[in-house]
Amino acid sequence: MTNSVHWESANGLSKIWIQAVDDRDRPFEFEVAAHGSRGKLSALKMDGVSVDPQIDETLETLPPAVIAELADIGITEVTTGAIRYSER
């Protein structure tokens, strides 16, 4: 993970943007919309190309560093398309 930004509204809705690079130094940006401890991957950019995570099933698992960053801010369940991840 290289960077993350977290925004939260007064009603508990939040957005998190996490930037990372893979082992080939390709940049990735994960955008997660959340409420409380539940989140949903709402956007994904791979090497500058936007991919709709609700349609494209290219992403099978979230990288461990992304899961850890989300857990650090209290998001323990993340849905990516039809796949669901939980720290529980």
pLDDT in tens, 18-53: 999 988 999 999 999 999 999 999 999 999 999 888
Query: What whole-number distance in Å separates Cα of residue 53 and Cα of residue 81?
Result: 6
Joined tokens for residue 56: 């494209």
Amino acid at 64: P
CA angle, corner 41, sides to 5 and 26, nearest 5?
Answer: 70
This prediction has a pTM of: 0.83
Residue from 13, 49, 43 nearest 30 by CA:
43
* Coil, helix or strand at residue 67: helix
pLDDT at 85: 52
